[in-house]
Amino acid sequence: MKIIGLLLLGLILGLAVMAAAGYFYISFGYAPVSTAAPPFPFEKKITSMALNARIKKEAPSQAALQVTDDNLLGGAQTYSKYCAVCHGLVDQPQTEISKGMFPKPPQLFSGHGVSDDPVGETYWKIENGIRLTGMPAFRQSLSETQIWQATLLLANPEKLPAAAKTILSSPAP
């Protein structure tokens, strides 16, 4: 009985010390809060675990639109207007805005594309955004068709019609 009491006391004290350490870490200004700060230990791991679990639950399993030239062109128009400022264009320098962000927005047309991701996952990210990253949710501002077109564009960078390529390689306004 006595042993259990001691163990319990130890456990409570341990928890109190941990809570106090967490409190002082934050209240004395050690937690990384600026976008320029290096990532928190395990930050990427924890956030991507939460995100992936949620996406697995909610993402549509297949695309609602076909991969056609019209849809890819529509995707390029949406992308250049709403996404390029953060995710970059083809053969254009990265914008000053995107350089200052944390986490960094992947430059989707220069080696960091999402053509390997399931389309439902990309659709989910555009529709819902990714909290605390700067990636906006577009569900209020774009139609489902526009979101699917942008998704198909990112999934099929090798199938772009010439008109879409022209839009994606024109410097941002």
Torsion, Cα of 125, 75, 109, 118 (10° steps): 40
- Closest separation between CB of residue 124 and ligand HEC, Å? 9
Stretch that binds ligand HEC, among 12-20, 31-39, 56-64, 135-143 (CB under 6 A): 135-143
Question: Is 85 a binder of ligand HEC (CB under 6 A)?
Answer: yes
Of 30, 55, 21, 36, residue with least CA distance to 99 = 36
| Two tokens, residue 75 | 């995707």
Question: Is 155 a binder of ligand HEC (CB under 6 A)?
Answer: no
Question: Is 80 a binder of ligand HEC (CB under 6 A)?
Answer: no
CA distances from 151 to 48, 64, 100, 116, 138 (A): 20, 10, 25, 12, 12
- Closest separation between CB of residue 160 and ligand HEC, Å? 15
Question: Is 160 a binder of ligand HEC (CB under 6 A)?
Answer: no
125 contacts 151 by C-beta, under 8 angstroms: no
Residues that bind ligand HEC (CB under 6 A): 78-79, 82-83, 85-87, 101, 103, 105-106, 114, 122, 125-126, 130, 133-136, 138, 150, 154
